[in-house]
Amino acid sequence: MPQPAAAPPASVHRGAVAAGAYTGPGSGVPGAGELLQLLRDGQPRTRAELAKLTGLTRSTVSARIDALLASGLLAPSGEAASTGGRPPARFAFNPQARVAVGADLGATHGNIALTDLTGQPLSEVAERVDISAGPVTVLDWVVETTRRLLDEAGRQVDDLVGIGIGLPGPVEHSSGRPMRPPIMPGWDGYDVPGHVRRHWEVPVLVDNDVNVMALGEHAMAHPEVEHLLFVKVATGIGAGIISGRRLHRGAVGAAGDLGHVATPHALDVLCTCGNTGCLEAVASGRAIIRELAAAGVPAMTNSDVVALVSGGNIAAAQAVRQAGRTIGEVLATCVSLLNPDLVVIGGSLVQAGESVIAGVREVVYGRSLPLATGHLQIVPATTGIQAGVIGAATMVIQHALAADRVDEALASASSAPLAVGG
């Protein structure tokens, strides 16, 4: 897995497993981790049902279940109907066994949520945070807020499977370090996971904010969709690519950097990245505000733009619609290249009604190949401001509950005393 600085998988579990009750990794037999993946859909199942699904013997399934029960990741869930004799017990995934933390950091905001193992928020904090204050100030706020959320929920640090963080700039996912982020002075190359892990020996995974929003929107609103393209339209513009139900980051984490693709026009407009003609420089919230100011329409923030559109201001509505068309020109290529089932448009400017999405649809449906758009839907995001925190938590949960990682944790617990946090 990425980010080798993360804590070892012992943090997934608590409680001893009887020696010899579990066959660990390398046995050639599907382990408890794969059994857990089946049960993460929330449907209770009996030992016999699990044996039929996996092809394992009843005794092997029983050993796997015992290991997962001891870890707390599995819990009894009533009984099935009897076919004669004692009714068989059912077992289900226990999402309350541990907790995860998701932090969504933007240019001027910080949202943090404590979630269960399905990514469902248990408690949240949203405050104004200035990313330009630098990594020490901002990450110390993340640490203190996480500590407060754990205390208020009555959860211990050994309940925490990890912390996920979304940042508003390019991130090298393998190291969790921001790489030349345009709006994050002092963050370039900073060891974000290392800073947080000075306080807790837990996995700390870091990605750009749009990738974690894509994970959150997919997990909560469209889990059945195989191929999804999430586009954030706000102060900046970016995209997150879900392919085969998995986030696609590319070679170093730069996949989806839509905001710095050159647009077909306005090539003389300077972007914050130093290039000219970038989509973000022409069609983002910042660009719309600049255009409205030139037309004598006062707007200082994206919220002002949304309010103007909602209030019937024609100039604002036209500017937002044109931004949607410009974004659509770039997305048309993406749709032909990636062939997603669904394009989801999120970010603060989506609150301006249908203006942005109508502009996107107008161009994408007209420019992309008919085969790619025949069943394509372009819809607004539904998770709102929760997308980032849910996605950041989901990133950590996927890491912690991966089948091989669960197997390693249970094998470790069966042969040695538990070392919380590893």
Are residues 366 and 239 part of one domain? yes
Q: Is the pLDDT score of 125 beyond 60?
A: yes
Q: How many domains does the chain have?
A: 3
Buried b (16+ CB within 10 A) or exposed e, 177-197: bbbebbbbeebeebbbbebbb
User: Which of 6-10, 163-167, 184-188 is predicted least confidently?
Assistant: 6-10
pTM for this model (two decimals): 0.86
User: Which of 83-92, 282-291, 297-306 is predicted least confidently?
Assistant: 83-92
pLDDT attached to residue 412: 80
Report whether 200 contacts 144 (CB < 8 A).
no
Q: Is the pLDDT score of 201 beyond 70?
A: yes
How many beta carbons lie within 10 A of that of residue 173, not counting itself?
22
The whole-angstrom separation of Cα 299 and Cα 316 is 9
* CA-to-CA dists, residue 33 to 16, 22, 42, 263, 408, angstroms: 16, 11, 15, 46, 9
Q: Is the pLDDT score of 24 beyond 70?
A: no
pLDDT attached to residue 29: 62
Which uninterrupted H or E stretch holds 79?
strand 74-79
pLDDT attached to residue 335: 96
Look at residues 196, 233, 213 and name the one whose alpha carbon lies nearest to residue 327.
233
User: Rounded mean pLDDT of 164-171?
Assistant: 95
**Residue 2 belongs to a domain:** no
The whole-angstrom separation of Cα 21 and Cα 394 is 30
Are residues 106 and 61 part of one domain? no
Which uninterrupted H or E stretch holds 37?
helix 32-39
Q: Which two tokens stand for residue 163?
A: 């912390």
How many beta carbons lie within 10 A of that of residue 223, not counting itself?
10
Are residues 14 and 49 part of one domain? yes
Are residues 206 and 135 part of one domain? yes
**Residue 88 belongs to a domain:** no
Are residues 194 and 343 part of one domain? no
Are residues 159 and 43 part of one domain? no
pLDDT attached to residue 267: 78
Are residues 347 and 286 part of one domain? yes
**Residue 132 belongs to a domain:** yes
Are residues 144 and 66 part of one domain? no
Are residues 364 and 243 part of one domain? yes
User: Rounded mean pLDDT of 70-90?
Assistant: 81
The whole-angstrom separation of Cα 213 and Cα 104 is 9
Report whether 348 contacts 303 (CB < 8 A).
yes
CA angle 181, 382, 347 (to 5 degrees): 30
Are residues 241 and 190 part of one domain? no
